[in-house]
Structure 1
Amino acid sequence: MENADIEGAWSRVPGEAARWLHDLDPDHCYSGFEPPPNPDSAWLLHAMYAWEEGLVTTTHDDVHQSMLGAGLVEPPPDPAADPSGDVGDLLEGAIVTGTGLGRSGDPGTGWRRLRWRELARGFGEPAVPEGELPGNRCLRQGHPAGSWSAAIRPPAEGCLDRESWYRLVGVLLRHSPGGAATRCLAYYCPLVTADWDDETVLAGRLGDAARLYDHPAMASCPSDLWAEDRSWVVYCDWDLWGTKVVGPTALIQALLDDPELEGVRLPWTH
């Protein structure tokens, strides 16, 4: 489907369509709305990958510093050029973590899927510590100083990976009575759209939701995607490494059982 067809399949509707989500989670409007687990929920962990030849101690920040020294990347802005001092404050101690923001996917030949549970088991810790959300406080021994090994492509922040998104949509299709014709709505938070004045909500069909991943006007999957009847909701916070799915237990269990997805229940999330 060409970009114009994607935009044609998903039409803009009034932002009021997302008001019910705002009422459920009024504190998260800028990064996505988290729905409560009604009746059940699971988190899909964004995929990470490891270099098949093994791990290395060189980090993503080490690689960046080497490229910076060789003049292969642009140096950061000069703090002296910013009288407010804001740039200097932001750059002080900043490192390249290796974590991407937005869309991601299988990097291809030479890389293998690295499950969160596999890495966590090697460290003797849970994939997601109790009380935490899937994010940069997880798997800390994999990035103790902030930057991951250059032989790992860590989970992307803010957006489910492409392969998991396609798989998720496939499961939703099987668990939605209307199938591909199920009417859905997609909300994109201001951190994705940079539109701080109006809520961005699109309407379309579940059968077109997989292609929504490549919507040309967006840098991410939707912050929230839901069936018009609100029987299920998908929530992807711009600051997290996991995507929450809320809906009937049969749907949630199907996601947890899917061999291509990595899902966990986090009962402490609201």
Structure 2
Amino acid sequence: MENAHVEDAWVRVPGAAARWLEQLDPEHGYSGFQPPRRPDAAWVLHAMYAWDEGLVTTTHDDLHKSVAEAGLTGTPRLPEPAGDVSELLQGSIVTGTDLGRTGHPGAGWRRLRWRELARGFGEPVVPEGRLPGNRCLRQAHPAGSWSAAIRPPAEGCLDRESWQRLIGVLLRYTVSGADTRCLAYYCPLVTNEWEEDTVLVGRLGDAGPLYDHPAMNSCPSNLWPEDRSWIVYCDWDLWGTKIVGPAALVDAVLADPELEGVRLPWTG
């Protein structure tokens, strides 16, 4: 299905359709509802990438300041810091972290697994008691900004390639497959709509193109089938996406070679 038709395939329904999620997580609807284990759960870590020619000590913040001070408009050999820097305040740090949709940066970059980076620094992938976010892999960005040779995990949205892969797993482990009627909730931090919850309804088979819905700048904050047998949760403030549902589905997510999945039992 072409992305141009995604608005026809996913239509808006009353926000009350997401009301049951508020009962599961009443405090976080503004950034996405985190469901508890139902009965199993895993997190898919958002993809990061490393420059093929090796790491550098120059950070995204260093690069941004150098380009700004020189008044350059061209593209340096390493891309400028990821994300929208137009709203940066004076004295703030360009971390290099994107907010919203991302994908593979292109030629010259390779996938860098969280486990690889964590092993190199001798630290856990996700510290016990934490969620996947900016307090993870701290030795890789001790002063806040990442090496300019790393594209760190995006905040708030699963990367495009992992989203497509996850939808493929969901299709295989959902009884009705592509015809499964699903609902997608977008939090107010994505939509900037605070008066009425934004909920769309469509087919699981059309969930791939939903990633690039032209009215949104993120994947859904929550996605679930009408029977609520599984839920996908992507918080606007995190670097990981949680999948809850049957053990067989969660095992399949963890076993998928293209997804970097991890169980975090302290997250419920």
**Same structural fold, with TM-score higher than 0.5 when normalized by the shorter chain:** yes
CA distance in 2, matches of 1:218, 1:21: 21
Cα deviation digits, residues 46-66 of structure 1 (max 9, x gap): 000000110000000001001
Change (3 A) 1:76 1:222: closer
CA RMSD, 1 decimal: 1.5
Mapping of 1:133-152 within 5 angstroms?
133-152=131-150
Identity %: 77
Q: Partners in 2 of 1:229 and 1:156 — Cα distance?
A: 30
Between the two proteins, the alignment pairs up a number of residues equal to 258
SS of the aligned residue for 2:267 comes to coil
Q: Report 1:95-134 matches (<5 A).
A: 95-134=93-132
Q: Could you say what secondary structure the match of 2:266 adopts? A: coil
CA distance in 1 between partners of 2:128 and 2:51 (Å): 29
Superposed, 1:1-270 pairs within 5 Å as 1-72=1-72, 91=89, 93-270=91-268
Is the CA contact (8 Å cut-off) linking 1:57 and 1:149 kept in structure 2?
yes
User: Residue type of the partner of 1:70?
Assistant: A
CA distance in structure 2 between the partners assigned to 1:130 and 1:2 by the alignment? 42
Instruction: Please name the residue that 2:80 is paired with.
Output: none
Residue by residue over 1:139-159, the C-alpha shift from the partner in whole angstroms, topping out at 9 and shown as x without a partner, is 000000000000000000000
Unpaired segments of 5 or more residues in structure 1? 78-89
Amino acid at match of 1:28: H
For 1:56 and 1:96, the matched residues in 2 are separated by: 16
Distance in 2 (CA, whole Å) between partners of 1:92 and 1:268 is 38
Amino acid at match of 2:25: D
The residue that corresponds to 1:87 in the other structure is: none
Q: Distance in 2 between matches of 1:173 and 1:75?
A: 37
Give, in angstroms, the shift of residue 93 of structure 1. 3.9
User: What does the per-residue CA deviation read over 1:6-49, in whole Å, with 9 as the maximum and x for residues that have no partner?
Assistant: 00000000000000001110100100000001100000000000
The letter for the 2-side match of 1:123 is F
**Unmatched runs of 5 consecutive residues or more in structure 2:** 74-83
> What is the alpha-carbon distance in structure 2 between the residues aligned to residue 91 and residue 99 of structure 1?
16
Matched position secondary structure for 1:197 = coil
Q: Deviations over 1:203-238 (max 9, x none)?
A: 000000000000000000000000110000000000
- Name the CA shift for 1:147/1:6 in 2 (closer, same or farther; >3 Å): same
Conserved in 1, the CA contact under 8 Å of 2:2 and 2:209?
A: no
Q: TM-score, normalised by structure 1?
A: 0.93
SS at match of 1:169: helix
In 1, Cα distance between the equivalents of 2:123 and 2:155? 21
Would the aligned equivalents of 2:85 and 2:94 in 1 still touch at CA under 8 Å? Answer: no
CA drift of 1:106 comes to 0.7
Instruction: Indicate conservation of the 8 Å contact 1:68/1:75, yes or no.
Output: no
Secondary structure at the residue paired with 1:185?
strand
Asked if 1 retains the 8 angstrom alpha-carbon contact of 2:3 and 2:209, the reply is no
User: Over residues 49-96 of structure 1, what are the superposed CA-to-partner deviations in whole Å (9 max), with x where a residue is unaligned?
Assistant: 00011000000000100111122479978xxxxxxxxxxxx8364100
- Match of 2:49, as an amino acid? Y
1:257 CA displacement? 0.4
